[in-house]
Amino acid sequence: MNWQQACELPYYGGSDLGANPAAEETVFKLWAPTACGVVVCLYATGTDAEPGAGERGVHELHREADGVWAITLPGNLHGTYYLYRVYFPDGRMQEVVDPYARSAGANGQRGMVLDLTRAAPEDWDADVRPAIPPHARSVWEVHVADFSADARSGVRPEWRGKFMGFTQPDTTLDSDGAHPTCLNYLKGLGVSHVQLQPIFDYATVDETRPDGGYNWGYDPQNYNVPEGSFATDPFHGEVRVRECRAMVAALHRAGLGVIMDVVYNHTYYSESCLERTVPGYWNRRWPNDSMTNGSGCGCDLASERPMVRKFIVDSVLYWARTYHIDGFRFDLMALEDVDTMNAIRAALDALPGGEDILMYGEPWQGGSTRMEHGAIPANKQAAGLLDSRIGFFCDNTRDAIKGGVFNAGSAGYINGDMHCGYQVLHSIPAWRGGQADFMPQAPGQVVQYVSAHDNYTLWDKLKCVARRGDYAAPDADLLAQNRMAAGIYLTCQGLPFMQGGEEFARTKHGDHNTYRGPLELNRLDWTRAAQLEELVQYYHGLLEIRKAYPELSGMAGDAEPCILSLPGWLIGFVPERRGESLPGRLAVYYNPERTRQWAALPAGSWRYLCDGTHAAAEPFGPTCRNAIELAPVSVTILKVE
């Protein structure tokens, strides 16, 4: 199906696709304009292997306007499982799960009619998004299973690795009462948002077995259904919904926002339910009709086609409304087109409080794709075309600080290649000077980071560059580099982001791609968090400084920082506040040298907020004037008295 043929299909603008149960009836609607017949098959269970399995009837849908097939059945069918059979003029029949299904049975094999009021945790009506000012935002990324799977996490066994693992308060390491873990730990860390690796239903973990495998989840199956392996019961579709919402509510009660990692760039199966419902419509194709593979996972979705765009916008809105999600991280965002991203932004902005819902993504592709009709990829070069509140991960900052991700041994500014200082200088005002091949409109568009789930953990990367083999072993030199890396991106303008556990030197023992597990290599090691408590406290201090001094973020329309003139590879700057003609109240220094260095201070008397080892929002230590001695491999932050 080419662009012209796709555009000739009718567009349906209604917001009622899917199965909508009401008190007396349930309405089913499916967009399938090329079909010649559609029936809905109802079942008692999500698979035939379960007790009580059996058919609950087959009903023929009728054709309505705009390519929609519909039927109204008596009764509230909450808890009924269903499939569509879609018939085509050439005699083929496809059995599909409803792309708009709100829940599903085990392994997503059948959709489930869901009455949302019957899948709400206690006090769900009272759940509200925490109010977090833009300058105080910082993101901590984690996978649901990794968060609480550690047997020493203090989380009750049946909740470990599940959505519910986020809901248990006051957990400590081995219940020793001294070292907080999981939610209890996050409350005190100082980050504002938790970004969850995929929580929608993905394909490769067998939900029916406790040892059904491990995956990061970038293999989407049912976009509007929570993943079943994270539920305490994957067989009853309302449980995963209720428990996913309970997780969000618990994080909200702790004052934390919840960001969802979404993967609208591809379908896991080339014969996905979308593709089988309207063959040829959903995926991008080359002229020879093979599907494009810009995702590296096969089967790119054609976001620029009208009903694909609508599906993505509808899905994001559904999660925002139904699960009170506070932000969306778009996997391989450059496979989405600019207009789709801006349409999502506009739709979120129209929700109550929706302007505060974050949007950012990876501004790259994993291979080549084929956007039609002049659609523009949402990459860094499109920063000026995207809404200024759609951000992107800044690989320029990431690689400048600690070395590139494609060569394990390549160093950055903090660990041996001080020439990267030029890029670090540009990172400070969030690349707003256009020194690279992109031009951000605002600091908030730039996600500043050195580690994420992809590639080495920061600690393992530092080990690789230093050629020090024992990944778990502490190392004073590398701890200094770790502190310096954090000190840099947490004093740069933009949105700071970190892989969960970066703050306790998380190691995956030199494995740079653990997407298929094992869990033992991926899970957060809460014993290590206790052992590296000083590093955690340092991060906490930096995060508190970030909250207390809004000018660091540049989010309030602040000017670019004033760069100080310093010798060699030292960098120093004074953040300036919006509209203020007075000199700034902070001074920040980066010393990448392995020796102590003297640097001139701006006029005034200064005290430490960060001396390279300790960080706090309240000044400490002696008063300094004229000049200061900087620790080797360190970030120093001073406040004027």
Which residue from 253, 53, 89 is spatially nearest to 166, judged by alpha carbons? Answer: 253
Residue numbers of the site for Ca ion (CB under 5 A)?
201, 227
Nearer to Ca ion, 205 or 258 (CB): 205
Nearer to Ca ion, 227 or 336 (CB): 227
Q: Are 426 and 396 in contact (CB under 8 A)?
A: yes
Residue 174: both structure tokens together? 């081995």
From the CB of 416, what's the least distance to Ca ion, in Å?
Answer: 43
C-alpha angle with apex 193: 354 to 383, nearest 5 degrees? 60
Residue 333: both structure tokens together? 């965002």
In whole angstroms, give the CA distance from residue 622 to residue 152. 41
From the CB of 156, what's the least distance to Ca ion, in Å?
Answer: 23
From the CB of 107, what's the least distance to Ca ion, in Å?
Answer: 6
Q: Which residues contact 15 (CB under 8 A, 6 or more apart)?
A: 314
Nearer to Ca ion, 268 or 422 (CB): 268
From the CB of 47, what's the least distance to Ca ion, in Å?
Answer: 13
From the CB of 211, what's the least distance to Ca ion, in Å?
Answer: 15
> Of 207, 300, 331, 336, which is the active-site residue?
331
**331 assigned to active site:** yes
N residues, the chain: 641
Nearer to Ca ion, 206 or 395 (CB): 206
Nearest residue to Ca ion, by Cβ distance, number only: 201
From the CB of 342, what's the least distance to Ca ion, in Å?
Answer: 31
In whole angstroms, give the CA distance from residue 292 to residue 106. 30
Three-state SS across 78-122? CCCEEEEEEECCCCCEEEECCCCCCEECHHHCCEECCCHHHCCCC
Nearer to Ca ion, 97 or 333 (CB): 97
> Of 115, 326, 337, 362, which is the active-site residue?
362
**362 assigned to active site:** yes
The string of DSSP codes covering 273-323 is HHHHHSTTTSB-B-TTSPBP-TTSSS-BB-TTSHHHHHHHHHHHHHHHHHH
Nearer to Ca ion, 146 or 201 (CB): 201
In whole angstroms, give the CA distance from residue 429 to residue 443. 7
- Kindly report the backbone phi and psi dihedral angles of residue 619, in degrees, each rounded to the nearest multiple of 5, phi listed first: -60, 150
280 torsion bin: left (phi>0), alpha (psi -120 to 50), beta (else): left
Task: Find the helix packing angle between 476-489 and 458-466, rounded to 10°.
Answer: 130
Q: Which residues contact 566 (CB under 8 A, 6 or more apart)?
A: 572, 589, 599, 600
Nearer to Ca ion, 25 or 48 (CB): 48
From the CB of 204, what's the least distance to Ca ion, in Å?
Answer: 8
Round the CA-based radius of gyration of the chain to a whole number and report it.
26
In whole angstroms, give the CA distance from residue 70 to residue 90. 22
From the CB of 214, what's the least distance to Ca ion, in Å?
Answer: 12
Residues annotated catalytic, as ranges: 331, 362
